[in-house]
Amino acid sequence: MSEGVVVLSNLGRVVRACLEEAPRHYAGVRLDAFVVMPNHVHAVFLFDERVVARRRRVGLSPTPTPEPAGEGTGQEAAPRRTEGLPHLVGSFKSFSTRGIRSILRDREFRVWQRGYYERVIRHEEELNAVRQYVIDNPNPRRWEEDEENPEGLGVLARVGGGPALPLGQS
């Protein structure tokens, strides 16, 4: 962070790239407002009505069901891919962790906490408030007071430097 602007390190750029890439792998999903902070990420994903309707029909967290690869083969095909937020977040964490570990050359480096906070946004007014929260997140005073801010630099800021980018921009 520099004067309220997020300055992404090489690791931060990996995280941003994985966020931006995620919608390309999920039909009906769009990345809206997001910010990569030195020690956390805020991202708003918008799901189109087809995805929402499908999720209502099959439940919130369907277990992938293997499909038979073919009669008599004794093998199963890969599980069906779910399109919900839990799968998207899991994939994002997995791919960004691989990229970060590759840069650090440390196969054991722990990047993400186990869970994540999700919130279903149901109205435009609520969406606009969440967008504003994401935009305001890099506030220098808020970051200085963040109890998770180790010595003013998160792990993503300690490893390398990078250009300052407007929020949610490539």
The overall average pLDDT reported for the chain is: 74
8 A C-beta contact, residue 115 and residue 22: no
pLDDT of residue 132: 92
90: its two tokens: 């899991």
Split at pLDDT 50, 70, 90, the class of 164 is very low
8 A C-beta contact, residue 121 and residue 130: yes
Per-residue burial over 158-169, b if 16 or more Cβ lie within 10 Å, else e, is eeeebeebebbe
With respect to residue 38, please indicate whether it lies within any of the assigned structural domains. yes
Separation between Cα atoms, residue 29 and residue 88, nearest integer Å = 9
CA distance readout (Å), 109 to 33, 100, 112, 113, 155: 28, 8, 10, 12, 11
With respect to residue 166, please indicate whether it lies within any of the assigned structural domains. no
With respect to residue 164, please indicate whether it lies within any of the assigned structural domains. no
> Does the structure show a pLDDT above 50 at 119?
yes
pLDDT of residue 25: 86
Separation between Cα atoms, residue 37 and residue 43, nearest integer Å = 11
> Does the structure show a pLDDT above 50 at 79?
no
Residue-number span of the structural domain to which 27 is assigned: 10-61+81-158
Q: Greater confidence, 119 or 75? A: 119
The string of pLDDT tens digits covering residues 23-49 is 888 888 899 999 998 888 999 999 887
Split into its structural domains, the chain has a count of: 1
The string of pLDDT tens digits covering residues 45-62 is 998 876 665 555 444 444
Q: Greater confidence, 30 or 143? A: 30
With respect to residue 163, please indicate whether it lies within any of the assigned structural domains. no
Query: Could you tell me the CATH number of the domain that includes residue 22?
Result: 3.30.70
Per-residue burial over 72-91, b if 16 or more Cβ lie within 10 Å, else e, is eeeeeeeeeebbbbebbbeb
